[in-house]
Structure 1
Amino acid sequence: MTMRRVLPWALLLLAVAAVTWWASRPPAVPAVQVQTGPLVRSLQFSARVAAQSRVDVGATLTGRVATVAVREGDEVAAGAPLLRLEDDEARAALAQAEAQLAQARAAREGAGGSRLRAAEAQLAQAEAQRVAALADRQRTADLVARGFLSPARDDEAARALAVADAQAAAARAQRDALATRGSERVQADAAVAAAEAAVAAARARLMQTVVRAPTAARVLQRAVEPGQIVQPGRALLTLALAGPVELVAQVDERFLDELRVGQTATVVADAFPREPFGATLQRIAPRVDAQRGAVDLHLRPEAAPPFLREDMTLAVAVVTARRDRALVMPLAALRAGDEAWVVHDGRVNARRLKLGLRSDAGVEVLEGLVEGDWVMLGDQPAPGQRAQAVAAALPTPGSTGGMGAAGAAMTQAIGR
């Protein structure tokens, strides 16, 4: 047989062999390799910046605003004036009250002062007469006893002493009445007390024309201008009291079992996605909002950056669990019943798994796989059929959706 006749048959045989080999080759399936590494589970949500306390400040009087001393964003010290009302009327009322007080004090002095001094002088005279009468009685009694005077003389001395005692008692009673219990004195004292109270009230009203900061604070909102008529009960300024900044968030109550006070978090602002900062979960509200089914969380920044603003929206990722070294399988490869399909020795095998910690992208495998195993991502071929693993790219976790630029940066920020 010549070469010309053999060559076509040889080429045909080679083609048939190639087709047979191609047809018998295991199909390529997308798969990923199980690896050992760190695994972090985090809970992501939105939060807002809030001062620990904020107050609305207003006037306690009805009046016209004379000046407003602050603008939004100003830092104020405790007691610093925030605004002033026109105070002409209040100053005039204080001057009138002070004049009435001076008049009442003068009237009290005129009503009881001179009479009291006269009564005290009369009492002093009566006491002196009593002392003289007592001494005369003692001398008379001694002379009567020695026989120099008659007993009648002793009776006269005794009567004189009794009269002196009665006069002294009457003078003392008159002095006491004028000093403490006299009706004129009581009325004069009451008039002075009323005038003093009127002065205190007028002075307090004048002080109320100046609205002051209750403590060190920052002005968040100003809703008043000079010339405006204001009334009690209306908020004119909103202040954020000085103190540590908090991050406040509402989280669905179904995540309560994952949250613990003291957990760390990474925070990113939409406006500053390249400047993440740390925070710590400080407090979990003791009650659940029944209408929204959510619980309030309060976080404290470790070092609050200067760009934070009141009510700014932030993306927060709280680390709720961590494994420094775990056998991790992509969550996309996990099948119903905690099962995975493994490509081994050219065939697909179904493996039942014992799982541990889960994140939004991966799951910890405790039993059922070893490092280096190839787990399938697709649904074909089925277990028992031939297959060839081909490395596939993992899908991007979808838990950051709806959180803006901060959410897009969060996965990198928390080291996932």
Structure 2
Amino acid sequence: MTSKKTLWISISAGVAVSAALLWAFAPRPLAVEVARASVGPYEQAVLEDGRTRLRDRYALSAPLTGRLARIALREGDAVEAGAVVATITPALSPMLDERTRREQSARAEAAEAAVRRADAGVQRARVAVEQARTELRRNEQLAQQHFISPAKVDTDRLALEAARMELEAAVQSRQVAGHERDTARAALIAIRTPGSGEGSFALRSPVSGRVLRVAQTSEATVMLGAPLIDIGDTARLEIVAELLTTDALQALPGAPVRIERWGGEGVLEGRVRRVEPAAFTKVSALGIEEQRVNVLIDLVGPPDLWRALGDGYRVGVRIVTLSRSSVLRVPVSAVFPQPGGGMAVFVAKTGRAQLAPVEFGGRNGSEAWVRGGIAEGAEVIVYPAATLRDGMRVKVRAVR
């Protein structure tokens, strides 16, 4: 009896040890984190730093050699168009009188030619506006009859707005050309009567705006062409962003832009006006040569929101390249490429991981657009481990 009892005890102990070993070495469910696939808005954007600059900056220089009176204006002072910003009394050497007169006469003739060229530019811009307006009317009628898509009408509206802005710029250029012509004429008159009070030349502001920089504040003798003062209208700001050429191909004119990290509250609205045709090479902080191109962005929100911005301020821009109002989204960390091609996700269902190939629509920094392959509400595994396989047991880990 004792031997049988000992035998049963030994067998029971062996079974218990075997069961313990099987339990100890049995594969455990892999702990995973999951997120639900949801339907909502989705967008892709290009993020880059930018800087503000004046659309038109006017650098006034000395139109003749002479004695400059002290400039009382300082940076930030407001000036009106036609206001006197500096006064110069000609101081010409007798040996240089004839040569200077000829140079000034040539400058006056060139200024006259610039005015004629600016007049032609204004007329050309007006024709472009009328052409864009006619094209918009025609396409609106065709869109109502369903001959063309509404997107074409939206493009024509943007083209009309761009043509109007070009006309406004052409008118501004005409005003500046007229100012330069008047300046050249006045300088020519001044050098013909040197030394007299009537020969003093008043340098006037071509536009209404603010003083940006005063290069020469004290009274001094200045040479022809010496920089004196910079003036610009701070209400006409634009943003310049240096994008990689591969990203710039997606930033089409008219694309919406969000201006972030500009120093004020909220987010400002903008729109891409132009992508410059010529790129340039820039060395990154890591020493890598990059091909970049300037993208010009207009601020389209109320000016009161960004009145505090000035010339050369740093901002962050988010150029929206793709926007959808309602798509199926999953975290971008849940999507991975398959060895044979295509994209896939792991879906946690009934305690096991199921490999689900998906039709991939795109991705941004946090979300991926899934066109098909899973349903709304599916629990996808985020950051799947390299050891995770189809059909493997998983355990959802609570995320705190």
Q: TM-score, normalised by structure 2?
A: 0.61
Q: What's 2:355 paired with? A: 350
Query: Which is helix-richer, 1 or 2?
Result: 1
- The answer to whether 1:236 aligns with 2:228 is yes
Q: Is the 8 A contact 2:259 2:268 kept in 1?
A: yes
Cα distance in structure 1, aligned partners of 2:281 and 2:237 = 27
**Structure label with greater radius of gyration:** 1
Change (3 A) 1:198 1:48: closer
Deviation digits for residues 167-202 of structure 1 (CA, Å, limit 9, x no counterpart): xxxxxxxxxxxxxxxxxxxxxxxxxxxxxx989943
How many Å apart are 1:261 and its aligned residue?
2.1
Q: Which moved more, 1:235-244 or 1:311-320?
A: 235-244
Per the TM alignment, residue 327 of structure 1 is displaced from its structure 2 partner at its CA by 1.2
> Hey, what's the Cα distance between the residues in 1 that align with 2:397 and 2:327?
24
Partner residue of 2:278 out of 277, 288, 291: 288
Q: Is 1:73 paired with 2:63?
A: no
Pairwise CA distance, 1:380: 2.9
Which is further off, 348-357 or 383-392?
A: 383-392
The change in CA–CA distance for 1:17 and 1:326 in structure 2 (over 3 A counts) is farther
User: Which secondary structure does the structure 1 equivalent of 2:274 belong to?
Assistant: strand
Letter aligned with residue 385 of structure 1: M
Counterpart of 1:40 (choices 40, 43, 68) is: 43
For the residue of structure 2 that corresponds to 1:381, the secondary structure is coil
**Deviation string, structure 1 residues 279-338 (Cα, Å, up to 9, x no partner):** 332422341314342222222221231210110010011222222221111111211231
Deviates more, 1:26-35 or 1:319-328: 26-35
Structure 2 counterpart of 1:315: 316
1:307 and 1:243, CA in 2 relative to 1: closer, same or farther beyond 3 A? closer
Please give the alpha-carbon distance, in whole angstroms, between the structure 1 residues aligned to 2:16 and 2:42. Answer: 52
How has the CA–CA distance of structure 1 residues 199 and 290 changed in structure 2, closer, same or farther, with 3 Å as cutoff? closer
- The alignment partner of 1:315 has SS state of strand
Aligned to 1:158: none
Question: Counterpart in 2 of 1:6?
Answer: none
CA offset at residue 249 of structure 1?
1.4
Work out the percentage of aligned pairs sharing the same amino acid.
23
- Deviation of 1:86 after TM superposition, in Å, equals 4.5
Report the CA distance between 1:212 and its aligned residue.
1.2
Q: How big is each residue's C-alpha offset from its partner over 1:192-229, in whole Å with a ceiling of 9 and x where there is no partner?
A: xxxxx989943999466322111212211111122222
For 1:222 and 1:313, the matched residues in 2 are separated by 23
Residue 257 of structure 2 contacts residue 272 of structure 2 at CA under 8 Å; is this kept in 1?
no
Aligned to 1:298: 296
8 Å contact from structure 1 (residues 37, 325) kept in 2: yes
Q: 2 CA distance for matches of 1:288 and 1:30? A: 47
**Corresponding residue SS for 1:288:** coil
Residue number among 384, 387, 395 corresponding to 2:391 in the alignment:
384
Please tell me whether residue 202 in structure 1 is matched to residue 193 in structure 2: yes
Partner AA of 2:255 in structure 1: Q
Unmatched tracts of structure 2, length 5 or more: 1-11, 93-187, 283-290
Q: Which moved more, 1:207-216 or 1:330-339?
A: 207-216
Runs of 4+ in 1 over 4 A off after TM superposition: 12-25, 86-89, 197-200, 203-208
Residue identity matched to 1:287 = P
Please tell me whether the aligned partners of residues 338 and 352 of structure 1 are also in contact (alpha carbons under 8 angstroms): yes
Mapped contact 1:343–1:376 kept (Cα < 8 A): no
- The answer (yes or no) to whether the contact 1:52–1:244 under 8 Å persists in 2 is yes
Which secondary structure state, in structure 2, belongs to the residue aligned with residue 382 of structure 1?
coil
Which residue in 1 is equivalent to 2:157? none
How big is the shift at 1:242? 6.4
2:266 aligned counterpart, secondary structure = strand
Distance 1:42 1:285, change over 3 A: closer
| CA deviation vs aligned residue, 1:344-402 (integer Å, no higher than 9, x gap) | 22222222110113212111111111122222413233223221232558xxxxxxxxx
Residue 333 of structure 2 aligns to a residue in which SS?
Answer: helix
SS of residue paired to 2:277: strand
Instruction: Report the Cα distance in structure 2 between the residues aligned to 1:198 and 1:58, rounded to whole angstroms.
Output: 18
1:134-171 deviation per Cα after TM superposition (whole angstroms, max 9, x unaligned): xxxxxxxxxxxxxxxxxxxxxxxxxxxxxxxxxxxxxx
**Number of matched pairs:** 281
2:65 touches 2:91 (CA, 8 Å); kept in 1?
Answer: no
How far the C-alpha of 1:68 sits from its partner, in A, is: 0.6
1:214, 1:77 → 2: CA distance? 8
Tell me which moved more, 65-74 or 288-297: 288-297
AA aligned to 2:29 is: P
Q: Distance in 1 between matches of 2:298 and 2:16?
A: 74
CA contact (8 A) 1:47 1:313 kept: yes
Q: Secondary structure of the equivalent of 2:361?
A: strand
Q: Cα RMSD (Å) of the superposition?
A: 3.6
Unaligned runs of 5+ in 1: 1-9, 90-196, 394-416
Contact 2:362 2:369 in 1 (8 A): yes
| Cα distance between partner residues in 2 of 1:79 and 1:227 | 22
SS at match of 1:215: coil
Distance in 2 of aligned mates of 1:198 and 1:352: 82
